[in-house]
Structures are given as structure tokens and as C-alpha cells.
Amino acid sequence: MSLPDAKPAPSSAAPHVSPWIAFRHSAFVVIWTATVVANVGTWMYNAASGWLMTSLAADPFTVSMVQVASSLPMFLFALPAGALADTVDKRRFLIGSEIVLTVFAAASAALVWLDLMNPSILLVFTFLLGAGSAFTAPAWQSIVPLLVPKQDLAAAVTSNGVGVNISRAIGPALGGVVIGGLGIAAPFWINALSNFAVIGALLWWRAPASQGDRLPPERLTGALVVGFRHVRFNPDLRATLVRAVGFFFFGSAYWALLPLVSRNQIAGGPELYGLLLGAIGIGAVVGAFILPTLKGALGPDRLVAAGSVGTALTLILLGIARHPALGIAACLIAGISWIAVLASLNVSVQISLPDWVRGRGLAMFVTVFFGAMTAGSALWGQLASSLGLPEAHFIAATGALLGIALTWRWKLQSGAGVDLAPSMHWPAPVLAIDAEADRGPVLVTVEYRIEPEKRDAFLVAARDLGRQRRRDGAYAWDVFEDAADGGRFLETFMVASWLEHLRQHQRVTNADRIVQDAIREFGATTEPKVTHFIAAQPSSTASGSIG
């Protein structure tokens, strides 16, 4: 059974949504403004560190390692960070993390100011700052739904992209000017100071009170396991991750090699490098303005394909660029293409996730994003060392075009319109024994009486139900047929503990309920019978008397 009501297909004629709608909400305005200020400092640091590395070591592979050191922490730490984002107070976690980041940023600035920086130390601090960003990225993304109502979420995601790219337009260009006027250490100090903007904004903001009963927070290891399982059985999220790999692996080439294009190929100084990075940001801001129109005309899948074509064109132009004008034109195209793809993928991730696993799902996206960027940056740096800068760009451009065809069957935003709010329709279990929270595992059985002519349709629909159970925390699921009693079926699923089963009660969504109600319609006359079994253990008195 296809259950079309559970997943309506997104319409390509969806109404245009202005990214500025989110600015009606004061909490969003304050957090957005503070992050733009902090991101300006971050982009000044990125530009300054990339340029500093070209002075410390001219080898293309070593220069590309700056991008690797920046991206690798996201790949390594985003998943545990996502689990933390789902299990701790997000606001307090972000405040503490931003304070630590400020300390690291100030230490790196002091080393540059004292002329003690070398390639190895620069890569270490770039890695540490990247690690700080990795631990905060899922939490930052998962608080967006707390700043705006659901109907403004897509606009808020796009507005965040605009903010990132405004800072990307301002920060590198300002960094180049500051390096020329105040010296290489100045952008490092400005980066450290800019973090105080987000610390102040977070101290001001108060998250809305959560609704419903609060269960104890999940433990980190268990939260990670459940998060992996959810991703495995969430087809909408998996499709987005595949499309992300197909784009970011090849798009990483111009980020990794741009310092060398600026210094060696075009023969410019830090001002030109800052201008090229700023042009990417300006292009992204322009792209954000036309994004609603493009999305309405193309839909998310074709829009991402168009962004990939634009990225391939960028790589070709940078491969042949020998004049600043051509480099700037290439970077403007890069920015438009980048925001088109990134915003589409980010919205696709957000709408595929219920709130309870949002941090972990976003962390998986961040992990895939920066894993592809890290692997790609290392590869393109190595190819530039062995084959040359132009050849590395041309190979990456070819790969970006091939990526469109190879990932096309994975569709984006296919879960648009699905209601992932908690349904809370499961009744509280009736217990005749003492069930401690950590006692388990727990076996849940659901007995169905199915009319014989509906047997095959029931079994097909039950597979969708099985994926749903696993998305919500079950680690084993199956359905059995009684060999001696025709029409009697037993669905079974297992969860790690009684507490984890109680969490399942809170995780079931309205979309899940549609599937479950459809399953019940296969029954003849009786309601499904639900039974709970908990792993039996001897009482402390009995165990003490043995022997």
C-alpha cells in the first residue's frame, strides 16, 4: 500500500517565500545579527590564515591543508556534537563553547603578533577552531526552529544563508585591507573579539519552554546509536546526504586552491585574495535574493543541478584565470551557485527531521558536508602539486558535472508537507510489575487479525511500519504469521530499555500515526493487541539467597 497521504509530493509551483519574513521575530533578528558579526571575524581569520600559509609554505598541498584542517574537525566531531545538542541545554552549551572558542582565537592571535607562528602551529590552531565550530554547528542549526514558527522555517534557513554570505562578502575583503594596513596579526585579534557578539546575544535570549513531559536526557553513547539508526531508516534524509556528497566533494576544489590562484596564477596580493573571497560572498547574497524565484521555477532538484553546473563553470574559469577580472567573475558565479545548493540541501534536511533527533540529523549532514570537503581539499591539493593548478580545476569541474547524473535519482525535499509534530496518541502502558527506567531490553508485540484477502497488502504496508519503528528507536523488528491460526499476525520490535520505550511514545509523529491507522484498517473486527515484555531478572532477595 502506497499511503499517498503520508507523503504528498512537493509542488514545483509552490508560492515564493521571502527570506526576510523571519525578521519579524525579535529573537531571530538578535541572534542573526550577532552571528553575522562573529562570522565576519571568522572569515577574516580564514582569509588571513590562508594567506599567511602561502607566506610560510608555498607548496600547493601544504596550502590546501589549511582547508583540510578547517573541515576535518566537522567530519570528526559533528556527530557527537549533534547528540549533545539533542541531550543538553542548547543555550548554555553554546555559551560555554563560544567562550572556549574565544580563548583559542586569542591565543592564535598572540602567536601571530609575537611572530611565533609556523605552518604546523597554524594548522593546529585552525584545527582547534574548526573543532569548536564542529561542536557548536548542530546546536546553532537546531535552535533555528526555536526562533521562528514552523511556517517561517524555510525563510529563516535562507536568511541564515544570507547572513553567512554577507559576512563572507565583508570579512575576506576587510581582512585583506586590514592585513595591508595593520599587519597580519590584526584579523586574528578581530576574530577573537567578534565572538563576544554571539556570547552577548545568547545571554540575552531565552529559549521557549518545552511542551509535554520531560524524560531524563539520553546518554551520549545511546543517543549516537539511536541517531545513526534514525538516519539509516529515514529515506528523505539519506537522499539529501547523497546529493551533498555529489556536490561538496568537487566544490571543495576552489576553496582549497583559491589562495594559490590569487598569489601564483593571477600574481596578486592579500587584497586580491580577500576580494576574491568577498566576491563569493557577494554572489551568494545576490543568489539569496533570486533564490525564491529560481526555486519556484526549477524546484529543489533542478536548482541543485543548476548550482552544480555553475560550480563547474567556476572551476573552469579559475583554471584559466590570469587576470583579476576573470577571477572575480568566477567567484561571483561560485557564490550564486553555492547558496543555491546549500540552502536547498539545508531546507531538505530540516524538513526531514522531527525535533527529537534534529541535532543528530543536522550533525550527520554537517559530517557528510565537511567530510566531502576534507577529502576533496586533500585530493585537489595533491593533484595541483602533481599536475598543476589548471588541471586540478578542470578535473574537479568534470566531476561536478558527473555528480549531477550519478546522484539524480535521490530526490530532495520529498518529505515537504509531512507533519512531524509529536502525535502523543500512544496510550501509557499498564504495568503489573516494577519497571525501572534502565531495565531492558524491552520486547513489544502487536497482534493483528487480518482478513485473508488483505494478507499481502498488509505485509507490504507493515514494512513501512517497521522502518518507522526503527526510526523511532527500535533496534530489531519483524512480523510473524501464526502457522496454526490463519489471519493471526504478530508484529515484534525491541528497544534497549523501558526508558527508551517511553521515549518512543513521545517520538511518534502525526505522519507516523497516518501509517499506523492505515495498518489498523486491514484488521477484520478486533483491535490490535499490544503487549510489553521486559527482560526478566531475579530480585535482589532471590539472588542473594542463591548459593
477 and 369 both lie in a single domain:
no
- Per-residue confidence band for 103, with pLDDT thresholds at 50, 70 and 90: very high
Q: What is the pLDDT of residues 321-377, one digit of tens each?
A: 999 999 999 999 999 999 899 888 988 888 888 888 887 888 888 888 888 888 888
Residues 259 and 386 reside in one and the same domain: yes
| Res. 245 pLDDT band, cuts 50 70 90 | very high
More confident: 271 or 261: 261
At residue 110, φ and ψ (nearest 5 deg) are -65, -40
In the prediction, which pLDDT does 303 show? 94
The pLDDT value given to residue 199 = 92
Closest C-alpha to 273, from 318, 309, 311: 318
120 in any annotated domain: yes
Q: Residue 547: pLDDT above 80?
A: no
What the block records as the C-alpha cell of 59 is 607548496
* Residues 116, 45 share a domain: yes
Domain membership flag for residue 415 = no
**pLDDT for 161:** 72
- What contacts 209, CB < 8 A, 6 or more positions away? none
Is residue 150, in this structure, part of any structural domain at all? yes
The yes-or-no verdict on residue 9 having pLDDT over 60 is no
For residue 172, is pLDDT > 90? no
Domain total of the chain:
2
Q: Look at residue 2 and tell me whether its pLDDT is greater than 60.
A: no
CA distance 93 to 90: 5
Q: pLDDT, tens digit, for every residue of 308-324?
A: 999 999 999 999 999 99
Q: Is residue 1 part of a domain?
A: no
Whether the bond between 441 and the residue before it is cis, its omega within 30 degrees of 0, is yes
Quick one: pLDDT at residue 494? 93
| pLDDT (0 to 100) of residue 311 | 95
Would 5 be classed as within a structural domain? no
Q: What's the pLDDT score for residue 206?
A: 82
Question: Using one digit for the tens of pLDDT, what is the confidence trace for 493-516?
Answer: 999 888 888 888 888 888 888 888
Same domain, 526 and 382: no
Query: Grid coordinates 519552554 are at which residue?
Result: 209
> Residue 154: which domain range?
23-206+224-407
Model pLDDT, residue 4: 31
Would you say residue 414 lies in a domain?
Answer: no
Residue 291 belongs to some domain of the structure: yes
The percent of residues in the chain predicted with pLDDT above 90, rounded, is: 20
Q: Which of 305-309, 375-379, 406-410, 415-419 is predicted with the least confidence, judged by mean pLDDT?
A: 415-419
User: Are the C-beta atoms of residues 457 and 522 closer than 8 Å to each other?
Assistant: yes
CA distances from 527 to 222, 272, 452, 487 (A): 33, 71, 16, 14
Does one domain contain both 337 and 477? no
Give the CATH number, domain containing residue 232: 1.20.1250.20
**Which carries the bigger pLDDT value, residue 125 or residue 520?**
125
18 part of a folded domain: no
